[in-house]
A = this chain, B = another copy of it.
């Protein structure tokens, strides 16, 4: 089906309904906010400007013999050759201290690379690999704090995504509670499994292959079955496991390639685009029905009251057509 309108309910998150309506795409007004920043004269995340951010809680250094070394600047002092750098957010929403007037938790920034330009950074998947390796290590260490129940990792790219700095960086939020959206998914995965004796994401991967637009041995990139924006993408490991922390080093490399290819392909099709990205993972092995994944929301449309107030999302393209468009963009490169 390539035109008209249908209703779809997300398999793994009961809080979402999508109406696919190709007629809506014909509306005369289509507003895009600018994605440029007013002042880009100074970047606090670029090498040389470390003093403008707090000391790193974790940084990755690669020694001359190729060995990965993790260090904290509080203990080791600054090492100017860092490859990836993690530090507390200068304007935190949470802090790992009791008795002060701030909600307990961790709110950190992970500078993914020394390279200021995202496209340049993405072109070599090894850069992404270094960032992910450091991310995994930092999450592990934060989880040693028994007060922390969950860690969510997000990325905001561009003004429309809520970003204030362009240099490639992730944000880490470690909470003393399970965030509502993770709770919704735990509920959704559990119910789908009880009703179908199968994981909803495993089902999606095996049954809706036409939604997949990139894959390698370990991961697939696909357009969501019930997307909230036309190009909403999931990156899903083929191997069912509840946690990002469970992936092997080989899988980590495949994930780096997947992330790099996915974002560059979207950029090729959409031009410069703003996006939100997050890791949906849990850390509790008793909830092994959960299937961890990454969600990417390219912000090409604006949500209105129906989306926010009803939880019903209107998109103007069929997910199967979007996936096909992206597959074509990839095959043209070969």
Contacts and interface: CB of A to CB of B under 8 A. Distances in A.
Contact of A19 (B28, B33, B94, B295): B94
Contacts of A175: 310, 312
Interface in A87-109: 91-95, 100-103
A276 B304 contact: yes
A254 to B, nearest CB: 23
A266 interface: no
Interface in A7-27: 7, 14-17, 19, 21, 23-24, 26-27
A154 B306 contact: yes
Interface stretch (A127-135, A177-185, A206-214, A243-251): A177-185
A276 B302 contact: no
A318 B170 CA distance: 27
Interface stretch (A156-164, A191-199, A217-225, A257-265): A156-164
B154 A103 contact: no
Contact of A164 (B31, B91, B305, B311): B31
A306 B152 contact: yes
Contact of A91 (B26, B34, B311): B26
Interface of A: 1, 3-7, 14-17, 19, 21, 23-24, 26-29, 31, 33-34, 37, 91-95, 100-103, 152, 154-156, 159-165, 171, 173, 175, 177, 179-184, 276-278, 280, 295, 297, 301-312, 314
Given A27-B164, A93-B306, 19 more contacts: A6-B103, A14-B183, A15-B181, A16-B180, A19-B93, A21-B92, A21-B94, A21-B103, A23-B91, A28-B164, A33-B160, A154-B304, A155-B305, A162-B301, A180-B310, A181-B308, A182-B310, A278-B305, A278-B309
A37 B17 CA distance: 30
29 contacts: A3-B101, A5-B102, A6-B103, A15-B181, A15-B184, A17-B180, A21-B93, A23-B91, A31-B164, A33-B33, A33-B34, A152-B310, A154-B304, A154-B305, A155-B305, A160-B302, A161-B304, A162-B303, A171-B306, A173-B306, A175-B312, A180-B310, A181-B308, A181-B309, A183-B311, A276-B308, A276-B309, A277-B305, A295-B309
Given A305-B276, A306-B154, A101 B33 contact: no
A118 to B, nearest CB: 16
B180 A14 contact: yes
Contacts of A183: 14, 311
Contacts of A26: 91
Contacts of A33: 33-34, 159-160
A295 B154 CA distance: 28
Contacts of A6: 103
B93 A314 contact: yes
A304 B19 contact: no
A196 to B, nearest CB: 20
A308 B103 CA distance: 20
A251 B198 CA distance: 51
A244 to B, nearest CB: 14
A19 B5 CA distance: 38
